[in-house]
Amino acid sequence: MDSLNTLVALPEIVLLVAACGVLLIDLFISDSRRNVTYGLTMAALLAVAVVVGFAAARNDTVVGFGAMYISDPMGHVLKLAAILCCGFMLVCAQSYARARGIWKGELFSLTLFSLLGMMLMISANNLLVIYLGLELQSLSMYALVALRRDDPRSSEAAMKYFVLGSLASGFLLYGMSMLYGATGTLEIDELASRVAAGEIVSRASLLLGIVFVVAGLAFKFGVVPFHMWAPDVYQGAPTPITMLLSSAPELAIFAIAFRILVEGLLPFAVDWQKILALLAVASLVLGNLTAIAQTNLKRMLAYSTIAQMGFVLLAMLSGVTAGDPVVIADAYSAAMFYLITYALTSLGTFGIILLLSRQGFEAEEISDFRGLAKRTPWYAFLMMLLMFSLAGVPPTVGFYAKLVVLQALVSEGATVAALSLAVIAVLLSLIAAFYYLRIVKTMYFDDPLPETAAVPIVAPTDMRVALSVNGILVLVLGLTPQYLLQLCAAAMTRTLGG
């Protein structure tokens, strides 16, 4: 096979051409005709999804660009999920963005470039390609957070995100340089073979590199103690950007964590596993306890995300507990299933916030949801399903997502430490149920605020349809989770076997 094999990156090439095309065409489009750019952006996302779908249909693993890039089943599933997140965000952002003057080409092109960075991260098989994708995604997100440049909160959030994100990128890059110094290679496959054979210059340098890499990844996941950016950025960023930030990037970060830690550094799992366990417990404790005290819904959801990512880390560390290939595949497919279903739930939650928002009213305080069941029973019901899913209440998909992670933790051969982690996760999930169910109580048992009671809810038809489908999926996937779980398990098994 040709070592270059540029067709392995065909989805990314199509996306790059489309993003540049949208950027150029938008120069000649007036504000009144911005739907043209929006339509082109949605067509670009559809085209990229089709190309990824054809690649997924081949059901194989292909490398290109001198083994620096890889196309595998896990990557296909994650890319499709990321594309869906971007498309859903743009559909829901229409009314909000128009009312606040950000329905412009920058929103569309930066979203596409951010997605391009995520897709690069998902398929990267080289440490420098990982960093290239990470920086492309991060720089695009910094600009998206600052889109409302006349809003002091948005500018402040963007500045905090940029400064702390740059620091985290430095951690990750320094860790990668330590891995290169210890093994003499940037290729993940070659890194894995040299580590397995003991061909390392210094074990201490390798361990130090692992610590820095995990710290960089932990910041991007937003887990404790690298979470300090999340609440301020979630609250200050425009709500559509918060919606995107809480969903798609987490899929890409999981991919690079899997590539580096599992595919590249599995012999050192006993070392990075302990770090992940500490980060997971700290995230579950601080995220859930701090969320209780929040009155701003976006800020509460930021702490909720911190806690939810703790569950993802639990699934990742459980994959190397027994050393059984089946257990490994089950654990990482559980993590992927959890991330995809969490992204789905997060999109719907922020979508409801966007639905209730209007010019001069952000609808981001918990009190803004008072009496929502009396104003619009259908969307109150959808919000209830989403809150139940985040809390892990059956029969929503969030319950099954937590269940498969706990099953991976307590699988046959699990250690006492793993069982203890499962108990801690269950107890803290019970605490988390309080602040999720508080939203339900506010919607169904409190009277509407006088300033919102008589205000009609206006939203485009496609947004209403998208939110309805999202809420129904949360319930349907909870009743029949086996199809998505089998898809994740099959993709992960083929990736690990490939």
Read off the pLDDT of residues 278-315 as tens digits, 9 standing for 90 and up: 999 999 999 999 999 999 999 999 999 999 999 999 98
pLDDT score for 1: 43
Average pLDDT over residues 269-284: 90
Average pLDDT over residues 427-441: 92
- Please state, in angstroms and rounded to a whole number, the distance separating the CA atoms of residues 496 and 484: 18
Strand partners for 124: 69
Read off the pLDDT of residues 217-260 as tens digits, 9 standing for 90 and up: 999 999 988 888 999 999 999 999 999 999 999 999 999 999 99
Specify the higher pLDDT residue, 372 or 456: 372
Average pLDDT over residues 380-396: 93
- Please state, in angstroms and rounded to a whole number, the distance separating the CA atoms of residues 97 and 100: 5
Strand partners for 69: 64, 124
Q: What does pLDDT average to over the chain?
A: 89
Read off the pLDDT of residues 103-121 as tens digits, 9 standing for 90 and up: 888 999 999 999 999 999 9
What is this structure's pTM? 0.93
Q: How far is CA 407 from CA 115, 312, 322, 466, in A?
A: 32, 13, 13, 32
Q: Which residue has the tokens 């340089």?
A: 177
Read off the pLDDT of residues 393-428 as tens digits, 9 standing for 90 and up: 989 999 999 999 988 888 756 678 788 888 999 999
Indicate the pLDDT class of residue 498, thresholds 50, 70 and 90. low
Structure tokens, 330: 């089950």
Residue type, 489: A
Pairing outcome for strands 62-64 and 69-71: antiparallel
